[in-house]
Structure 1
Amino acid sequence: MYKIYIIEDDANISRLITEQLTKYQFQCYTVQQFHHIVEEFQAIQPHLVVMDINLPTYDGYFWSRKIRQLSTCPIIIVSARINDIDQVYGIENGADDFITKPFSLDVFMAKVNGLIRRTYGEYASSDSSIITIANTTLNTDTVRLQTAKQESLLTLKEMQLCKLLFDSYPNVVTRQELLSAIWDDETFVEENTLSVNIGRLRKKFEVIQSLLEIKTIRGLGYQLVEVEE
C-alpha cells in the first residue's frame, strides 16, 4: 500500500483529500506538527507528498526544498494561488506538479496515480544505469548528475527528462515526446511545467560545470549538445 503524506492546514480540504485517497487504497498521513514536517516525513517515509503553500511557520516552498534535500519522493503542490509565478516557484523548489484550488478530484487522482506509476509502478524505469556523455555522467541509481568537479541531486522529473535527453543524444527530443513519456496525460499538465523543469535542469548542468547544455530547437523540442571548453 502506497503512503501519502498530506501537508494541508485546511481541515476540510485535508479530510476531502484523505477520504478520496483512502477510497483508492492509499494509506494517508496528515501533518500533526507544522514545525516538525521534516521529522514527520522521515518517520513516515511516504511514497508521495501533497503540499499546500500557505502553511503555519514556513510555507510549502520551504518544506519542499527541505524534503528535496532528503528524498526524490514526488511532491504535488495543491494551492489556491493561481499566478504562473507561484507554479514556476513551486516547481523550482522541488515540486513535481502543481494543482490549483478548487480542483477536480478526478484530475487530482489522475496526477497522483500518474506519479505513483512513473515512480514505483508499471512505468517505473527498470534500467538502473550510468550514462556518460562528454564530461558528464547521469547516475540513475543515485539520481545524480555529476562531473569530476561537482554533482547535483535531481528530482524525479529532472532525472526522467535528463535520461530521455541522454538516451536520445545527439538527436532532438520533441516536446510531445517528453510530455508523453514523463506525464501520463499531458492534458493535465500546466502549459509551462515542461519549460520550468527544463530550465531547472539547465541550471544544474551549469552548476556542475558540465560541457553539455540543453538547446531549444524552436517549434520542435530540445537537444542535448556538447559545448566547447
Structure 2
Amino acid sequence: MKKIMIVEDNDKLRIPLAKHIEKFGYEVITLEQFNDILGKFLEKEPDLVLLDINLPSFDGFYWCRQIRQRSTCPIIFISAREGTMDQIMALENGGDDYITKPFEYDMVIAKVKSHLRRSYGEYAPSQGERMINFHGLTFLPERMELRFQLKSTEVSKKESLLLEVLLERGEKITSRDRLIEKMWNTDMFIDENTLNVYITRVRKRLSDIGIKDAIETVRGAGYRMRCTWEEVE
C-alpha cells in the first residue's frame, strides 16, 4: 500500500482530503505539528508528499529543499497562491507538480496516481536499476543520465565512469590515478591532461542542470564532490 503524506495546516482542507485519498486504497499520513517535517518524513517514509506553501515557522519551499537532500520521492505542492512566480519557485525548489486551491479532489487523485506511476510503476526506472544520490543530485549509470530537480542531461561513457566514482565516494578525495584506472582500465600511459579534459566536461554537464563548482580539485591529492547547493535558501 502506497503512503501519501499530507503537509497542510488547515484542518478543514486536510481532514476531508485525507479521507478522500484513503478511499482509493492509500495509507494517508497527516501532520498536526510542523516544526520538524523532515524528521516525520524520514520516520514515515512516504511514497509521495502533498505539501502546502504557507506553513508555520518555515514555508513549503524550505521543507521541499530539505526533503530533496534525502529523497527523490514525488512532491506535489498544494497552495492558494496562483501566481506564476510561486509555481516556478515550487518547481525550482524541487517540487514535481503544483495544484492551486480550491481544487477538485478527483484532480488531486489523478495527479497522485500519475506521479506514483512515473516513480514506482510502469514508467519508473526498471527494477534493479542503480541510482546514485548525492544530496538530491541523482545519477543513473545504466542510462548515463544526470538528474537534478526537474532538469536532466545525458553523459558519455567516459564521463559516466568518472561520475560514478566521484558520486559514490562523495566528499572523500579520489586520486587521479584511481580515476584514470577506472576510466581506461589499461596499463598504457594516459596523459593527465586527458583526465583534465573529462573533468572539465563533467563540470559543464553539471552546470547545464544548475550545479556549479561541485567538483573540487584538491591540490596534490585528486578530486572530491562538494554539495555547493545544500545551504541555498
Question: Which range, TM-score by smaller chain?
Answer: 0.5 to 0.7
How much has 1:139 moved relative to structure 2? 2.6
Match of 1:53 in 2: 53
8 Å Cα contact 1:143/1:154 also seen in 2: no
How much has 1:44 moved relative to structure 2? 0.3
AA aligned opposite 2:48: L
AA aligned opposite 1:16: P
Secondary structure of the equivalent of 1:71? coil
How much has 1:154 moved relative to structure 2? 2.5
Q: Distance in 2 between matches of 1:9 and 1:101?
A: 14
Match of 1:79 in 2: 79
Match of 1:98 in 2: 98
CA shift digits 1:136-171 (9 cap, x unpaired)? xx732699967xxxxxx624x44xx546x98xxxxx
Give the count of matched residue pairs.
160
Q: Paired residue for 2:210, among 190, 204, 214?
A: 204
Match of 1:192 in 2: none
How much has 1:202 moved relative to structure 2? 3.5
How much has 1:125 moved relative to structure 2? 2.0
How much has 1:203 moved relative to structure 2? 4.1
Match of 1:65 in 2: 65
Match of 1:173 in 2: none
Relative to 1, partners in 2 of residues 1:142 and 1:31: Cα closer, same or farther, differing over 3 Å? farther
How much has 1:105 moved relative to structure 2? 1.5
Q: Distance in 1 between matches of 2:143 and 2:51?
A: 22
Secondary structure of the equivalent of 2:36? helix
Secondary structure of the equivalent of 2:103? coil
How much has 1:79 moved relative to structure 2? 0.1
Q: Distance in 1 between matches of 2:140 and 2:31?
A: 31
AA aligned opposite 1:10: N
CA shift digits 1:166-225 (9 cap, x unpaired)? 8xxxxxxxxxxxxxxxxxxxxxxxxxxxxxxxxx9834265558xxxxxxxxxxxxxxxx
Match of 1:154 in 2: 148
TM-score w.r.t. the length of structure 2 is 0.61
Sequence identity percentage:
38
Relative to 1, partners in 2 of residues 1:23 and 1:162: Cα closer, same or farther, differing over 3 Å? farther
Match of 1:123 in 2: 123
Relative to 1, partners in 2 of residues 1:105 and 1:139: Cα closer, same or farther, differing over 3 Å? same
Match of 1:191 in 2: none
Relative to 1, partners in 2 of residues 1:204 and 1:144: Cα closer, same or farther, differing over 3 Å? farther
Match of 1:197 in 2: none
Match of 1:13 in 2: 13
Relative to 1, partners in 2 of residues 1:75 and 1:142: Cα closer, same or farther, differing over 3 Å? farther
Larger Rg: 2
8 Å Cα contact 1:145/1:154 also seen in 2: no
8 Å Cα contact 2:8/2:31 also seen in 1: yes
CA shift digits 1:23-55 (9 cap, x unpaired)? 000100001320011110000000000000000
Secondary structure of the equivalent of 1:53? coil
> Alignment RMSD, CA only?
3.1
Unaligned runs of 5+ residues in structure 1 are: 131-137, 147-152, 167-199, 210-229
Relative to 1, partners in 2 of residues 1:145 and 1:79: Cα closer, same or farther, differing over 3 Å? same
Relative to 1, partners in 2 of residues 1:201 and 1:109: Cα closer, same or farther, differing over 3 Å? farther
Q: Distance in 1 between matches of 2:207 and 2:7?
A: 26
Q: Distance in 2 between matches of 1:93 and 1:49?
A: 14
